[in-house]
Amino acid sequence: MRFVYKHYPLSIHPLAPGAHAAAAAAQRQGKFWEMYALIFENPQSLDRASYVAHAQKLGLDTAQFEKDLDSPEVKQAVDADVALAEELQIRGTPGFFINGRFLSGAQPYAAFKSVIDEELERN
């Protein structure tokens, strides 16, 4: 099993691109999931100063983090994930693929179990 996260900042959420950039910048120092968790634990703090404070809390090189936050490479990485989502006709989050089968939205455990069991049986 492989779990892959792709960025998809929703256009209806004007602060989402910054949050995704912060997570991607933290990823460059090996702390994607930690930054992701801090962002979701603090939904009222979706601004640059908060992201830098999160980076400090995580022990990141904050100068490098800020450089990465503004870098074209980080923007391109997020934009590439958005382009892939659009190519796959994904319109919202969360979305999941299990062996190419798409599950849209928050799903109960039973929905995942059913698809995984079917795929295990098929293979």
At 39 the pLDDT is 97
At 123 the pLDDT is 81
Closest CA to 40 of 62, 61, 16, 74: 16
Q: Which domains does the chain have, with CATH numbers?
A: 1-90 (3.40.30.10), 93-123 (no CATH)
Q: Which SS3 state, helix, strand or coil, does residue 96 take?
A: strand
Query: pLDDT truncated to tens, each residue of the chain (123 aa)?
Result: 778 899 999 989 999 999 999 999 999 999 999 999 999 999 999 999 999 999 999 999 999 999 999 999 999 999 999 999 999 989 889 999 999 999 999 999 999 999 999 999 998
The whole-model pTM stands at 0.86
At 96 the pLDDT is 92
- Residue identified by tokens 């912060």 is 22
Strands 95-98 and 101-104: antiparallel
